[in-house]
Amino acid sequence: QVHLVQSGAEVKKPGSSVKVSCKTSGGTFSSYTFSWVRQAPGQGLEWMGKIIPVLDRATYAQKFLGRLTFTADRSTSTVYMELSSLTSDDTAVYYCARLTFNGDEGWFDPWGQGTLVIVSS
């Protein structure tokens, strides 16, 4: 049974960066793909991208290109999401989730508990 535990809430200034961690327990970390999904207050879900730790390969959604970086530490079974040049529009809950896919199509299960990132001056 895979379980994802994320780091705690963050408050950041506009223009700064935030790094959120997602630690995996149970299962085989190296066989998984992970995605990050965010949810602005009162809004829907937005896919940000995915990382395949065993290949150290990341894919980012178009709107985040240039300011989003995913990394993985296989020694601690942890994936990281770093978002730079923060604006108030980045205020959201950020979720990590395991992505299971068949070809390109896939689904997200399970999800971490979420990390609230507030961007405010």
Interacting residues toward another protein by CB under 8 A:
35, 37, 44-47, 61-62, 95, 97, 99-100, 102, 104-114
| Residue 13: CB minimum distance to another protein, A | 26
Report the residue number, 16 or 55, with the smaller CB distance to another protein.
55
Following DSSP, what letter does each residue of 44-61 receive, concatenated? -EEEEEEEETTTTEEEE-
Report the residue number, 62 or 121, with the smaller CB distance to another protein.
62
| Residue 71: CB minimum distance to another protein, A | 20
Considering only CA atoms, which of 5, 4, 10 is closest in space to residue 91?
Answer: 10
**78-83 and 105-111 beta bridge pairing:** unpaired
| Residue 59: CB minimum distance to another protein, A | 9
Is-contact 60 68, C-beta < 8 A?
yes
